[in-house]
Amino acid sequence: MSLTSEVKKIARKAGADLVGIASIDRFDNAPADLHPRTIFGHPESVIALGCRHLRGSLKVIEEGNYWQAYNCDSYQYLNEILAPHMLRKITVFLEDQGYTSVPIHNPFSSHQGRPVRPGGTRPDGLISLRVVGCAAGLGELGLSKLFLTPQFGPRQRMFALLTDAVLDPDPLFTGSVCDNCGQCAKACPGDAIPLERSVEFKIGDRVFSHALLDCEKCRYPHIGWDPCYSPFLKPDSSPDNPPEYYKWLDTRFRHHTICGGRGCIRMCMDHLERTGRIEKRYQTPMVEGEQWIIEEELR
């Protein structure tokens, strides 16, 4: 078995749903401060790993019933348990073959320090895990800026591993998952997704593009401060006086998210599944009827 096949086999056995390989030249057009070399000086290959969000954990937010499955599985479990385990397994395997590899987890706090030598970049270095997914041939970017794959649409979290092993790169994805339907933007409670693809970048001979997501507008509903989209807020709730449930999520899962990708994940999934733009079919549709908004008398 080739080194590349062995790496992919280990990744899948350790829990990755998607594995792709990018050669380092796929990052030739990357901005200097977002190049894999800002993290590791000798990268030859970048391994992209995708782990699915559980469909049911999103479905029960769509139903307005249950938030902790998504907060536990998609944030704490994927980021803090599965990714370190999976990345370490591959890293140790490559190390035993004489290669040095660096696991890139999610989330990470970047560019916090000072360069240690003239002309250097600020540690910690940063790469975009969505771009890594594109470079490794696993998919493309949606209008929403989310990474979309033919297997899961927007429903995965990406991780990466930089290595000085020369692995066989996968071809770039040549299809399209996103059809610019605009449903993500329409259903986004923060009005954070413009309808125009104004950001472009090139990898090899393929141009990838997405809308300029307004992260500030996303943040407010994402972490649950819009009373129309959070059943947990009380009239006197504020960042200084958060709901008990947010404190519990933060304590139990070290994270809280409340929007649950109403537009950018759930509505996008529904559109892609209904129109046959992803490979799988499911018994229960993601969105049934109108999506909920909490009326004023219930707030």
Q: Which residues contact 144 (CB under 8 A, 6 or more apart)?
A: 154, 178, 184, 185, 193, 210, 211, 213, 263, 264, 268
Element spanning 47, H or E: strand 45-52
Least distance between ligand SF4 and beta carbon 165 (Å): 34
Q: Draw the binding track, 225-244, toward ligand SF4 (x: CB under 6 A; -: no contact).
A: --------------------
192 near ligand SF4, judged by CB under 6 A: yes
Least distance between ligand SF4 and beta carbon 260 (Å): 7
Q: 107 burial class (0-12, 13-18, 19+ CB within 10 angstroms)?
A: exposed
- Given the structure tokens 């605009």, which residue do they identify? 182
Least distance between ligand SF4 and beta carbon 58 (Å): 11
**The two three-digit tokens of residue 258, written as one number:** 């409340």
Q: Among residues 10 and 294, whose Cβ is nearest to ligand SF4?
A: 294
Residue from 125, 137, 169, 190 that binds ligand SF4 (CB under 6 A)? 190
**The two three-digit tokens of residue 55, written as one number:** 């469909």
Residue from 178, 233, 286, 287 that binds ligand SF4 (CB under 6 A)? 178
The residue sitting closest to ligand SF4, measured at its beta carbon, is: 142
Report the alpha-carbon distance of residue 238 to residue 10 in Å, rounded: 46
* 101-109, 114-122, 218-226, 289-297 -> range binding ligand SF4 (CB under 6 A): 218-226
State the DSSP code for 53.
P
Report the alpha-carbon distance of residue 227 to residue 220 in Å, rounded: 10
144 near ligand SF4, judged by CB under 6 A: yes
224 near ligand SF4, judged by CB under 6 A: no
Residue from 78, 134, 165, 259 that binds ligand SF4 (CB under 6 A)? 259
N-term to C-term CA, the chain? 59
Give the interface with ligand SF4 as residue ranges (CB under 6 A).
Answer: 142-144, 178-184, 188-190, 192-193, 218, 221-222, 259, 261-264, 267-268, 271-272
